[in-house]
Every structure is written in C-alpha cells, then in structure tokens.
Structure 1
Amino acid sequence: MAHTPYPESYYAASANTTPPRPALQHDVETDVCVIGAGYTGLSSALFLLENGFRVTVLEAAKVGFGASGRNGGQIVNSYSRDIDVIERSVGPRQAQLLGQMAFEGGRIIRERVAKYNIQCDLKDGGVFAAITAKQMGHLESQKRLWERFGHTQLELMDQKRIREVVACDQYVGGMLDMSGGHIHPLNLALGEAAAVESLGGTIYEQSPAVRIERGTNPVVHTPQGKVRAKFIIVAGNAYLGNLVPELAAKSMPCGTQVITTEPLGDALAKSLLPQDYCVEDCNYLLDYYRLSGDKRLIFGGGVVYGARDPANIEAIIRPKMLKAFPQLKDVKIDYAWTGNFLLTLSRLPQVGRLGDNIYYSQGCSGHGVTYTHLAGKVLAEALRGQAERFDAFADLPHYPFPGGQLLRTPFAALGAWYYGLRDKFGY
C-alpha cells in the first residue's frame, strides 16, 4: 500500500514525536466518521468526543499533512471576507451571529493548548501592516467594525509605533491584535490528535476515503477497509479531490509558498521582530512572516491557482523577504515548501449537509487556522441537534466559478493579476 510522508518542510523537520498510527485494514462501526485529520476534522472529533460520541478519523496521509501542517502558523481573527461584507450580502441578523463567532476560533485554540498541554510554541500578538495610507484607513474602519462585535484587544499603530514591533521601513502604520498570535501549526495538529486519542477516538493514517456509500447508515470505503457510521463529516478541504463531486464544483485548490531561514540567533531575530509578533501586510496578495521557536524567520506569500507546485519556491519568496528585510541578504534558506488551501468564489467558507447525515465544512480561502477550529465546534453542535450557528454558515450564498472547473484557474489568476496591480499602484 502507498505510504505518503510529510513534505520536506521546517514543520515536519521540527515536529514533536508521535506514535505511528495504523492504516485501516478491517471494518469499523462508529457514531461519526471524520474524513481528514487536519484542523477541521480534529476539532470536530474533539468536540464530539467531549460530548460522548464514538469517533473514527480517516486520514489519507498523516495527521496535519495538508494545510493544517503547512500554513504560516498565524492566528488571525474573522474570515477571509470580513463581517461588513457578510452583512451587505445576507443582512444584519445573520451577520450578527457570524460576527459573534468571528473571534471564537482563536479562543478555542488557546483552550485546547491549555487543556491538553499541547506544545506548539504559542505566542500572542499579530500585526496587520499597512503599506499605503488607503490601507491604513481600512484598518481604522476594521478596528471600529471589530469593536462593534465586542473585540477590543486592538491598537492602531502609526509609522513610529509599528517600527517598534517590526524592523521594516515600508509600512506607514498598522494594527496590533493581541488576541492574534502564532503557533507551530503541525505540532498543534499533532497535539490535537493526541487529545482525540486520549478521549477514546481512533485515527487511521494512510487510509484515504475512496468512496462514500450514502444511505441511512452511510459507509466510507478505504483501500483496505470501511467505516459504517451514523454521521459523516467531510473535512478534506483542498486535499479532498473528487470524493464528493458537488463540493468540488464550487471550490478551487490554490497553493501558497513558504520559506524558512537558518536560525538567526537571538540578537538578529530580536532586531527584526522585537516583541515576537507575527505580521501580515494588507495587500490582496499578501506577505506574512514570523519567528519560529528556534529563531528562524518563516516567510510566506504568493498564490498558485490550481495548486501546482512551483519549480523554485525560494526564487519566488526570497525577493519578497529581502524587500521587507534587506539585512537578511546573506542568510541561508533551509526549507521551502508549498501548501494548498481551498478558495471559494465568495472567499467565505462553505458549510452544509448532504442528505440527512453527511456534513461538511470547506473553503477557508486562506484564513483557516482560526475558522477551522470554530467549524469543528459548529459541526459538533449540529450533530447534537443545535443547528442555529451551523445554519448561519450554511445559508451563506455560494456560486460555481465562471466557466466551471476547466476555466476556474485562468479566471481566478486573471482576478489576482488585477488585484496585484492595485496593490502595486496603491489603489
């Protein structure tokens, strides 16, 4: 049977030791079968186990193999489209409920880390960095918007103040969110998987779901076994493939690239990011970066539509890093990798139910670390019969990409080119 290892990333190289998990090679009966051992699946499993469900998790590769173990590691609140955009689309009542949930994911992460003693280098503090005066005006509006929904751990920073937290001279200001922060994302996933198993859940690795047999008691088939369940949660996101065709039609896998430097040493690391906050800029095609626990700079950016792996990731991202920090021109890059996320046309997550017993959440659109943890709680609530928050997401309108799957990649790339020009010229 094929064995899929982790990609050669910094996160895989520095992952906490975990026991090997077997592939499914027999038939299993359970209450809930979760497809995917990333954040959405693990969060769902944890909340369900804490409420007395029997849970079996199927993972095609290894825990956190996809976006959950490859992302920039930043805890960023709200959604890829903010609450004001949602409000204009669906009205104040639904937006109020979604707005109340917009800051819950980060709290869930911190609760999990504390409750299950997860060692994942959790640090508080995230910076949104404005490159233009227009972006600064947007941050001022965003602060007022988030405070309207009760989120008050925010500080606007002028040019002088932002230079105190990030040694980059291209920013005119920014906003500090102390409920944001950063983590070692793969170690967070591994810690959550250990928590699932501590509560009696079972995780099978190298066990891709190849077919779902729908019905009153649906069955998930793997190459060497099957799981019969009362409910299924589909949590494969950008790595789901065409297992559920109706979900693939309204989403598109996209790649983002990350590099990691050699260890910088305490003095150089502190000179770049004195308070050890993470940073993302306000461009549509944004750059993001932070320090690792061992004082490397982790720098990401760029989007590859259709999720192809670029031939030379360092050539794409290193110039972005040096534009922010030219003092790193002689620093060696130790790791470079691509991770896929799932984009929707609205850039809002897709949540719903197929029939009576197959639930799903997908399409975080690059904003998934916090949302996926919230999604797990919302899905678990729905399986317990508490569907108000689930319905608030499920009722969001979603549309297929123009031209279908054949043309979705060039159309999305054209849109990104347009917004990239807007970033470049400060519109």
Structure 2
Amino acid sequence: MKPSQVFRSLRSRNYRLYFTGQSISLIGTWMQRMAVSWLVYRVTHSSLMLGIVSFSGLIPSMLFSPYAGTLSDRHSRYRILLYSQVASMLQSGVLAAIVLLEHYNITAIIFLSVVQGIINAFDTTSRQSLMVDLIDNKDDLPNAIALNSSMVNLARLLGPAIAGLILSTFGEGVCFLVDFFSFIAVIISLLMMNLQLPPPQRVEGNVWQGLREGYRYLQQAPDIRAVILMLAASGIFLMSFNTLTPVFAKDVFGGNAKTYSWFASITGLGALASAIYMAGLKPGKDLVKIIGAAGILFAGSILLFSLAGSLPLALFLIMLSGMGMMGQIAATNTYVQTNVPGYMRGRMISYYAMAFQGTLPVGSLLAGGAASQVGAPLTASLQGAAGIICAVIFLWSMRARNGKDNIVT
C-alpha cells in the first residue's frame, strides 16, 4: 500500500487544514472524556453513576440529531461547525474552572455533560456533512472519511496516555484546561479555509417537514436502514462497554488511573490500525461484509475480554475490539455518504449520528445498571454475546435481501 494512496485526500488544502486542527483538538477531547469518567468513579465509586453521567452526555444526540441534520441541509454547514466548536470550547472552560476551583458536584458534571451532548449533536452532523465539500476530488471522499477516523483514533491513542499522566500528577482539572486550549487550533483552521460552498437548497416547509422527508427516504432505502440499525445495535450492546472500563481498571485488575488510560490507549491503537486499513481500501470493496465481519470481531473480543484472567491478555483483546469497532464505524459512514444524494446527506448523517452516539446513552445506562447488580465481567459477557447475534442477523438479512452473491457495495 503506497503512502500516497493512504493520504491522497490531504492534497486538498481545506481538508488538510481541517485534519490538522481537528488532530490537535481531539487529543484534548479524549483527555476530557477520560477525566470525566475517572472523576465520577473516584468520587462516587458507583458503576451506576458512570452509566448515568454517560447517559446524560449522549442522550442529546438521540433527541437533537434529526433536527441538526435537517438544519445542516438548509443552512451553512460551515457556520454551524464553527459555532459548535466555539461552544465546545466554552463548555470545556467552565468545566475546567469549577474543578480547578473545587466548586463542582455530580449535578454540575451531569449538567455540563448534557450541554456538551447538545453541542455534539449539531457538531457531528455538520462536520460529517461538510466532509465532501472539503476535498477537491470527490473520488477521495471514502479516503477522507477513513483518514478522519484515523485522526480520531490517533487522538484516542495519545489523549488517554497523556491524560493518565496528568490525572495521576495534577488531577482532572488540568485535563479539562488542556482541552479548553486545544480548541484554538481547530477554530483557527476553520477560519483559514477558503470554501466555495453551494448555497443551501431552498425548500418549502418547516424543519419538521424536513425531518419527515428524511424518515420517508430511510423507509425507501432498506440497505441504508439496515447498516444504520446494525450500528445502533453496536451502540447499545458494544460501544457502551467503555462505560465499564474504569471498573475493570480499578476493581477487576486492581489498577489506577494509568491502568485506565492503558485501556483507552490500546483501544485507540487497534482502532487506528483499522482506520488506516480502511483509508487504503480501493473503490468497489464490499462494505457490507466489512461491517458484518468488523461487528463480529468487535463483539467476540469483548466477550473474550470479560473472561480474561490477566491484564496483558485483556489489553490484547481490547485492542482487537478497537479494530472491530472502527472498522464498523468507518465502513458504515462511507456506505451512507456514498449511497445517498447530496440534498439528503445531512439528514442521513443525523440518523447515522443517532445510531453511533444516540444509542450509546441507553446502552451506557443499561451497562452501568447491570454491572451494579451482576458485576462488570458478566455484563461484558452478555454485551459480547448480544453483539455477535446482531452481526450474524445483519449479514443474513443483507444476503437474503440482495441475493447470495449480489450484496450491494
């Protein structure tokens, strides 16, 4: 695989600016995520409270993503993205201030998590919908999506590693402060862009009519609906597993903040490897098979992780889970963006965001509640088993719908 093939979308100046700014900002974002979870578990020692805080930060995506998707189809996606980054910066600043000044409680953490969740609903739909406008050669869109996934997972690798050192030395407040300053990079990169965007499509009717149009389109596109539902199933049963990693790090394996950061970083390493593989894929690959196979790898790794008796084996298995997770996410994103018309892209990305982020709060709440009753290992075993069943059903249904040897790519 030639490097020029893997990084071909970086030839576009606007995408290169976006990639650079987001790379810096996302390191801070992952540091904040790590610090919030560790702070909550350190203060409460409750896996249920971990689930509640995670639920609070993610449920807005389920509620607001359809509205945000319709808004991005009708207004400037660039401006929505810029405003959402500024809002995220302010949220991080408030979080840093209350923790550093020791004027925080769990209620305040939950409230700020809800605020960030609302911001993320608009950020995700506008950012993903804008991707095609950032590249000069539209054939490079799948590569740009995969490189974006690589960027996210490189940040997921570096952010927790840095957070682990800062948490054990300075505490959670400094992690939040670093996240605040990291937004400067992405805001500057957005302001430096020279975009020639087509005017948003003028449509009759209000936003709620646009939502209904998106839903009707989804009903008439069974393959798009199937890959989104598969991602939603993974969000409920598998991605919510991350809620339990502080419990595994501290209670199951007897570790500390550094052990917790190892889990997140090694997951990011596996996800980064998968994203690089996706970036090098040539057009015409069977994305449906990749989604199904990645789902099985994701679920099977979590099932085996729950049974692991040693930390090195657990780290290896969680790395494989990261590979499966990112393979499924990137392939689903590429499939959706390359199989829907431009005027409907924002709304379909909003459904993708609902499946990716909107189902996580439900899964996180269920995982935290189950772990508080039956323990984290058994909960993770059940999550893995459910994920395998969903992946098998997905592959069977897609094969039955499109013909044994004619699955749409």
Comparing both structures, which one devotes a greater share of its residues to helix? 2
Q: TM-score band (shorter)?
A: under 0.3
| TM-score where L is the length of structure 2 | 0.28
Higher relative contact order (CA 8 A, sep 6+): 2
